[in-house]
Amino acid sequence: MKLKKKTIAAGLMALLTMMIVLSGCSSEKKTNAEQKGDVTVNIGVQGSTGVLPYARETKAFEKAFEKEGVKVKWSEFASGPPHFEALASGRLDFGATGGTPLIAGQSGNVDFKAIAVTTDGKKGNSIIIPKGSKIKELKDLKGKKIAVAKGSSAYNFLYMALDQAGLSDKDIKVVQLQPDEARPALDNGSVDAWSTWEPYATTAIFQTGAKSLADGEDLNINAPSFLVARTQFTKDHPDLTVLFLKTYERVMKQFIDHPDKVSSDIAKKEKLDPKIVSTVLKRSNLILSPTTPEFAKAHQEQADFLYKAGGIKTKLDTSKVIENKFIEKALENK
């Protein structure tokens, strides 16, 4: 069943508003540091269990860039969309987000490039229901309150899941909440379900007995996540862009080669059960890859869905923001 544009448009108003704001601040300017030759690499991070958060704790990027006389500055974000506001204003050079924020950023004329794929996203998003919920299948969401961070990858996932169940936003009540607000709302019964991403989904399941109603793998929804970069930075410093990717790969290999140590390190810092972290990492399916035709197709399908739903005003060619040359250079001889 196709989603109805009129009903979806209302549900996606916050996403459109964000894109309008982004459109007004999309001009790129060099920072004072760049003009003086004193370069600082600004890296965005969200969550606590991913490659970039772990790299921040181990100072992997500081060590790599110090050899080039380059400083590193970190900025923390609650979700993907704020990354693009920072990219647009020149306050951010690199970050990692899901695909939906990329679509919003491109719609808002933010000048950025998707420089690598970090996961296929099949298990990255889930719809979580609390322990004891009578909800058994997606159709049971009709008439329910569902928490989600608008503009996030979990937001698009929710609407695609509803579409598969023959529902639309007219059939539910979307409650706009960031993860730190949504979890308490799910726990106290203020919402009936929560569409979110890792590590929040697994953490809720382990800590409260919540259950996953559906994830991308269940619904065969591919939602690749990306490393993104400010276009002007990649033009001014192509060598540093490649170094960023090489450093990311080195840290990612620690997740793959030494999962127990990485899980233990993260669990200790975040005061989490190591089993939670281990499960999150297993579900992440970490990769570092160029945007292959398969990933490009999946990302384009997400953009087409949002366009048909009325969430974006212009039909996008998402290939225009994809740039593989840096990751291909970083992975040479691998």
pLDDT digits (tens, 9 = 90+) for 278-301: 998 888 889 999 999 999 999 999
Mean pLDDT of 129-143: 97
Residue 1 C-alpha from the chain's centroid = 27
- Amino acid present at 252: M
Residue 328 has a CB neighbour count (10 Å cut-off) of: 13
How confident is the prediction for the chain on average, in pLDDT?
Answer: 88
Rounded to two decimals, the pTM is 0.82
Question: What pLDDT score does 284 carry?
Answer: 83
Q: In the predicted model, is pLDDT for residue 5 greater than 70? A: no
Domains and CATH numbers, the chain: 40-121+223-332 (3.40.190.10), 125-215 (3.40.190.10)
The pLDDT confidence band at residue 29, using thresholds 50, 70 and 90, is: very low
Q: How far apart, in whole angstroms, are the C-alpha atoms of residue 104 and residue 98? A: 11
- Taking only the tens place, the pLDDT of each residue in 209-245 is 999 999 999 998 888 999 999 999 999 999 999 999 9
CA dist 163 and 17 (Å) reads: 23
Report the percent of the chain where pLDDT is more than 70.
89
Pairing of strands 125-129, 211-215: antiparallel
Instruction: Please state, in angstroms and as integers, the Cα–Cα distance from residue 225 to each residue in 50, 132, 302, following that order.
Output: 12, 32, 12
- Provide the CA 45 distance to its chain's centre, in angstroms: 10
Place of tokens 């299948």: 137
